[in-house]
Amino acid sequence: MIRFILARLVKAVVILLAILIFNFLLIHAAPGDPAAVMAGEAGATDEKFIADLRARFGLDQPFGVQLWLYVKSTVQLDLGFSYRQNMPVIDLIWDRLPATLLLTLTAFVIALVLGVTAGVLAASKQGTWWDSIISSMALLFYATPLFWVALMASLLFSVVLGWLPGYGYETIGANYTGFERALDIGKHLILPATTLGLFFMAVYMRMTRASMLEMSRLDFVKTARAKGLKNRVIQRRHVLRNALLPVITLAGLQAGQIVGGAVLTETVFAWPGIGRLLFEAISQRDYSVMLGVFFVSAAMVLLFNLITDVLYVLVDPRIRLT
């Protein structure tokens, strides 16, 4: 088990390094010279100033050296300096990371709990109007663009009904502390987390439903019935446990998309996470922040994948013991 986790960790580090290099290449392939942009915005366009800027940021060095310097400093968790925000990138990210983790994890839990519950319900009522309603709802949330659902949810629950705050992380200027502050953040969290969660809920629902139906046809379910077990117990202990295995695999694969979806949700709801940070950095051509966010979100996705792998192993003895 420990050997398994170590092996996965080593793999994750290698992948992370590859992503790092790839991101760097990607930024370099993009058109536009950051030094020229900076000089332009500073109101100076003469060659000397631009050359000075290049030298100052190491942009005059050969490509290989730039890459090496970048990888070396990233490994030391020095993600560079954002001249836009006048702060080290790592500090910017540390500031925003908790908000993103809170949002994505809540959305993930909502997606998983709602999706699996709806899937179990749809499977147990297979072919009835319950099944049709649940399946169509799930499809609707999946097919509708995330940002549009976000905008509409904000409009309905915040502007029209006034039930929930429609933007931000907490009430500015209220200076709540302790439990009151948690409650306030919780209220702000409901809309973005639910919007993001509903989108992914659909996928888990379909998978759980299909997998439950497939498992109910297997021989061991018949054995369980032949024992005289109640249907409820059979569904929970025999069908659901086996049906969850593919759902776990899927959840691991989807982790990356949830982090991606957070960029949209955070932007619409003005949620101060790294998704919004990335959005701002892109519009301002703040390359070092972009690279930093890419790096951290890649690391997050790898971490989620590692967690699902470990979870899978814990659930399935056939992998744990061989």
Partner 1 sequence: MSLLEIENLAIALPAGADRQLAVENISFGLSKGEILCIVGESGSGKSMSANAVMGLLPEGVEPAGGHIRFHGREILHLTEDERIDIRGKSISMIFQEPLSALNPLMRVGAQICEVFEAHGLLTPAERMARAVELLEEVGLPDPDKTIRAYPFQLSGGQRQRVMIAMALALEPEILIADEPTTALDVTTQAQILALIEELRRKHEMAVIFITHDFGVVADIADRVIVMQTGQIVEQGSAEDVLLRPSHPYTKSLIAAIPGMKDKPDTGQTHSQQSPVILSVKNLNKTFSTGGGLFKPARVVHAVNDMTFDLHLGETIGIVGESGSGKSTAGRCIIRLIDPDSGTVRLSDVDLTALNGHALRMARSKAQMIFQDPYSSLNPRARIGRILTEGPIAHGVPRAQALDRARELLSLVGLDPSAVDRFPHEFSGGQRQRIGIARALALDPDVIIADEAVSALDVSIQAQVLDLLADLKARLNLSMLFVTHDLRVAAQICDRIMVMRRGQVVEMGPSAQVLGQPAHDYTRSLLDAIPGRHHEAAMRQSVASY
Q: What is the contact surface with partner 1 in residues (CB under 8 A)?
A: 218-220, 222-231, 233, 237-238, 241-242, 315-318, 321-322
Q: Give the separation between CA 29 and CA 38, rounded to whole angstroms.
A: 18
Least distance to partner 1 from the beta carbon of 75, Å? 36
62 versus 317: smaller Cβ distance to partner 1: 317
Least distance to partner 1 from the beta carbon of 228, Å? 4
110 versus 243: smaller Cβ distance to partner 1: 243
Question: Six-digit token pair at 316?
Answer: 């399935």
Least distance to partner 1 from the beta carbon of 253, Å? 21
Question: Six-digit token pair at 36?
Answer: 């020229």
Least distance to partner 1 from the beta carbon of 6, Å? 18
Q: Give the separation between CA 217 and CA 22, rounded to whole angstroms.
A: 46
73 versus 128: smaller Cβ distance to partner 1: 128
Least distance to partner 1 from the beta carbon of 227, Å? 4
Contact 110, 201 (CB under 8 A): yes
Least distance to partner 1 from the beta carbon of 116, Å? 16
72 versus 241: smaller Cβ distance to partner 1: 241
Least distance to partner 1 from the beta carbon of 317, Å? 5
Contact 201, 111 (CB under 8 A): yes
72 versus 230: smaller Cβ distance to partner 1: 230
239 versus 251: smaller Cβ distance to partner 1: 239
126 versus 132: smaller Cβ distance to partner 1: 126
Contacts of 114 (CB under 8 A, 6+ apart): 197, 198, 201, 204, 205
Question: Six-digit token pair at 250?
Answer: 């899927």
